[in-house]
Amino acid sequence: MRFLGVALAAGLQLPTAALANHGSQKPLGDDLSSSQGHKGGKQPNIVFILTDDQDLHMNSLDYVPLIKKHLLDKGTLYKRHYCTTAICCPARVSLLTGQQAHNTNVTDVNPPHGGYPKFIRQGLNNAYLPVWLQEAGYNTYYTGKLFNAHTVENYNSPYPAGWNGSDFLLDPYTYNYFNSSFQRNQDPPKSYEGFHSVDVLAEKSLGFVDEAVRANGPFFLGIAPVAPHSNVESNILGDDNDQDWDKLPDIEEFAKFGPPVPAKRHEHLFKDVKIPRTPNFNPDQPTGANWVRLRKKLNQENIDYNDHFYRQRLRTLQSVDELVASVVERLAQHGVLDNTYIFYTTDNGYHISQHRLNPGKECGFEEDINIPLIIRGPGVAKGEVSEIVTTHVDLAPTILSIAGVPHRADFDGEAIPLNQKDIDRTVATRHEHVTVEFWGFAVSEGGKLFDKDEERLTLNNTYKALRIIGKDYNFYYSVWCNNEHELYDLSTDPYQINNLLHPTATKPKTLLGAGFHKVIARLDSLLFVLKSCKGRTCIRPWEALHPQGNVANLHDALSKRFDIFYEHQPKKVSYNRCELGYIVDAEGPQFEKDGAVFTAEAAEYKRNGISWSEWT
């Protein structure tokens, strides 16, 4: 394997200057001083911090006091923020393009279905956020992990477009905390072996803040630490366009997984902390569907290891905590903090022991898809928690809106309201749903497998799902590629223990005052629209089913006048077969071809509606 250059240790200032002010981490509530600068320029600056695999439901935000001080207390937490595909590369591409993975067709972390080479082949290198921001007059910078399969060999074929300055983490060293490789602008990659990856990133981030301010224009800065992702030592580049996962050797032969590795100064922290023992933690009875429901209960040795894995995640996040504080303070020193929006989120969530699952993501459970989003900036309410539904495909529209760029017709999301007045105003009209989708496999990322029958990689983890949250309802509905179904009523079952559509489940007679089967019919029809939607239809899917505009939410759709229409839909969500990527002829019926719409005219002569293709 070709490797292009080594960084001189003397050239790296570690730890960062900001760390000298903070010292070691302290409990939440520690009052650390900071000053804020003055507004400058008409267009605000934007700093976007993207962690890797950070959870919300295992309380990671309770262990980052500097993020609390600088972001949570100074901004708004969007507690119902969701990723749309719970794995790194597809989530990041959706975030930067404002499109669902079924529209980007980047659905995996490696070729042929994903990774940086697929991003390039899909023509997205000239159609994503930094390119649009540059067109709007912004200087753009990025450091850290961009995409998977962005490697020490393909980094320049071509270079990622749209960046005035960049310093990317590269595979196969991305997840190796003490052996990272960065590639700056159009220079060859450099190795930072022996230095903690997040500390290296912190120095680079501060350098880009300085550079952006010197450029004397509005700027966007993306900062993407690898923490708290598992540590992975890999000997594969993952950029072979012809290689498919079912043809690869055993995963154990090319990737060694283990807990994340903290900086030395954080190794001693949280020694007695354990994973929250929620009702779905290693439950006595199996949960879920498909392969998840076949999981055995974890033994005590496995649980002890998972608790250690959890502590290591919290420890690695301390470096991110310090990074955030140093960036905020550098912005203040330059006098630009008051005119800067700071976003803090992650690509996807994470589970450890919930539903008997070992460390990993890729599932549709809340642990994997409901993730942190914090925004601070001009006009953003301080110390508030918003319950509006937001998703990753809403972030590019939001950032472009801040930059004064009109909404793009190909966006599958809409701008997030940032001040309290706009949040209150849009509660009744904003979308209430999340389109969740996944293709391929699930990986157990713990360093050790404790059951002789357990496999590191599980295939047929392909599914489409709908998350819908409105007044008096809170549902997750999914269809797997083996055509098993799930439904959870999170109003009464917040930990998703009771799958109401499992054959052994006791089904309620009614939901929301309507017959159980009537609610299922509406949810399936909505998912039928969303699983292949584009643009506005992804944002306002009820309009596709009811083009007269008289249905805006699930409550409206449950009107008795629509019963026959929904119960006699010609097609339901189903798969023809399981695939590792988005292949349309495997995806079953498509709404654009097979769906039906309700119109007043159709109600007179054909009570179950007319076809979507006929209507359009």
CA triple 453-455-459, angle to 5 deg = 125
Question: Does residue 88 have an active-site annotation?
Answer: yes
Give the whole-angstrom CA distance, residue 456 versus residue 165.
38
C-beta separation of 349 from 368 below 8 A: yes
Coil/strand/helix, residue 78: strand
3 state DSSP class of 434: strand
Which residue's structure tokens are 């990723």? 83
Question: How far is CA 58 from each of CA 88, 228, 297, 404, rounded to the nearest angstrom?
Answer: 19, 13, 20, 36
Residues 189/3, Cβ–Cβ less than 8 Å:
yes
Report yes or no: 184 and 211 within 8 Å, Cβ to Cβ.
Answer: no
The token pair that represents 210 in the structure block: 């300085």
DSSP secondary structure letters along 522-554: HHHHHHHHHTT--THHHHSHHHHH-TTS---SH
What gap in Å lies between CA 615 and CA 541, rounded to an integer? Answer: 15
| Partners of residue 190 on adjacent β-strands | 182
The backbone torsions φ and ψ at residue 355, rounded to the nearest 5 degrees and listed phi first, read 60, 25
Q: Tokens standing for 529?
A: 């629209």
Kind plus residue range of the DSSP H or E element containing 144? strand 139-145
- Give one DSSP letter per residue of 374-433, joined into a string: EEESTTPPTTEEEEEEEEGGGHHHHHHHHTTPPPPTT-SS-PPP-SHHHHHHHTTTS--E
User: DSSP 3-state assignment of 40?
Assistant: coil
Select which of 88, 89, 533, 578 is catalytic: 88
Sign of CA dihedral 68, 70, 76, 77: negative
Give me the helices (H) in 242-369, please.
Answer: 300-333, 366-369
Q: Which residues are designated catalytic?
A: 88
